[in-house]
């Protein structure tokens, strides 16, 4: 069981250069997260919106730290999460949460650490979001960076 105050945090390792991993997160979310992405992250203040059609919701993030090729921090500035059968509070739960991406070369691999600061078991969306990140980060992004077929939301 995860501690109620523990944020979502996972690590993957891939056989891809660190810069390619950084690019996948900053500019290529449409390849592994959702096909409906607007914007991209090229520096502090840049925004990206990830939409999940037909009407599952969207999240807009603003880069608050951009240290190529080592780290990206982004804060959720707009959120809409629609899940049938869930309390209406789920809609805005990501608002103000931060996602921290850390990239480092480990031998012949790149290690990517992702922390979703604020995504904890106390949120209504915890189970749904846990499944989502485990799929999109641990499976789809990893597949994309390993030259395999990713599985973004379409």
pLDDT of residue 4: 62
pLDDT of residue 24: 98
What mean pLDDT comes out for the span 76-101? 95
Task: State the chain's maximal CA–CA distance in angstroms.
Answer: 46
The answer to whether the Cα torsion of 72, 74, 120, 132 is positive or negative is: negative
For 58-88, give the secondary structure using H, E and C.
EEEEEEEEEECCCEEEEEEEEEEECCCCCCH
pTM of the model: 0.94
Superfamily of the domain at 8-145: START domain (3.30.530.20)
Mean model confidence pLDDT for the chain? 96
pLDDT digits (tens, 9 = 90+) for 106-141: 999 999 999 999 999 999 999 999 999 999 999 999
- Percent with pLDDT over 70 in the chain: 97
- Helix and strand numbers (H, E) in the chain are 4, 7
Residue 32 structure tokens: 């592994």
Contacts of 83 (CB under 8 A, 6+ apart): 56, 90, 125, 128
pLDDT of residue 1: 52
pLDDT digits (tens, 9 = 90+) for 133-148: 999 999 999 999 999 9
Parse the chain into domains and list their residue ranges. 8-145
Strands 109-117 and 71-81, by their bridges, are unpaired
What beta strand segments (E) does 31-152 contain?
A: 36-39, 47-52, 57-67, 71-81, 98-106, 109-117
Checking if the pLDDT of 57 tops 80, the result is yes
């Amino acid at each position: 069981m995860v501690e109620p105050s523990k944020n979502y945090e996972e690590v993957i390792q891939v056989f891809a250069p660190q810069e390619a991993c950084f690019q996948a997160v900053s500019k290529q979310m449409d390849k592994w997260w959702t096909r409906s992405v607007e914007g991209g992250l090229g520096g502090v203040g840049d925004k990206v919106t990830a939409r999940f059609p037909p009407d599952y919701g969207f999240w807009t993030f603003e880069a608050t730290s951009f240290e190529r090729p080592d780290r990206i921090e982004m804060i959720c500035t707009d959120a809409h999460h629609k899940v049938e059968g869930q309390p209406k509070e789920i809609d805005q739960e990501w608002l103000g949460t931060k996602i921290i991406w850390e990239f480092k070369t480990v031998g012949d691999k790149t290690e990517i650490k992702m922390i979703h600061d604020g995504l904890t078991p106390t949120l209504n969306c915890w189970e749904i979001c846990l499944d989502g990140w485990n799929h999109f980060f641990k499976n789809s992004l990893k597949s994309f960076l390993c030259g395999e077929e990713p599985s973004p939301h379409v």
